[in-house]
A and B are shown apart, each in its own frame.
Chain A
């Protein structure tokens, strides 16, 4: 069974303090790993897809990386508007088109 575990559950940073969020996964052959951002009371917003180990993608202050067992979302010099819950999901070979989501990391950036 495909599984995704995100850590930490919650993270508080000061504005400008860089850090990383972790997404560990087990999957029966990875077709894709996805990162989303979710603001309170809203639907998740798609950020990145990573397909194979070694791949990296960037968007503004966010950079996602992928190994065979985990993915990191690096946040460089964050601003208060980066505060949100970040969700990780995987799509395995056996999952039809069903994504398996982690519980999310709730990120708070204090000014």
Chain B
């Protein structure tokens, strides 16, 4: 079954700790994305990567970091510098080729920081 997996589904951390969220895809997609979703605010883009070993900041990148060492994997680290890290985090991927721009999403990770 092709798809996107995110782990864990729920994550709890104390303030001041860094935490890494996993995202893996077996769709052979070139592009991968991280979004944050807060109640009433829709999806906001954190980082995206169109190719291995390259990534760009999205609209709300402060306090986050990513890496793209493999085509299949795009982990997101939420650092202690992120002021309001509690949110629902969504990973997505797309083919990246012309005319195939639709993004497919993983099941999400709900992060709670106290």
Contacts and interface: CB of A to CB of B under 8 A. Distances in A.
B41 A91 contact: no
A97 B48 contact: yes
Given A97-B96, A98-B48, A41 B110 contact: yes
B5 to A, nearest CB: 11
Q: Is the interface of B mostly helix, strand, loop or mixed?
A: strand
B42 A96 contact: no
Interface residues of B, number: 27
A97 B105 contact: no
Contact of A32 (B50, B56, B88, B101): B101
B107 interface: yes
Interface of A: 31-32, 34, 36, 41-46, 49, 51, 87, 89, 91, 96-99, 101-104
Interface of B: 4, 6, 31, 40-43, 45, 48, 50, 56, 58, 88, 90, 92, 94, 96, 99, 101-108, 110
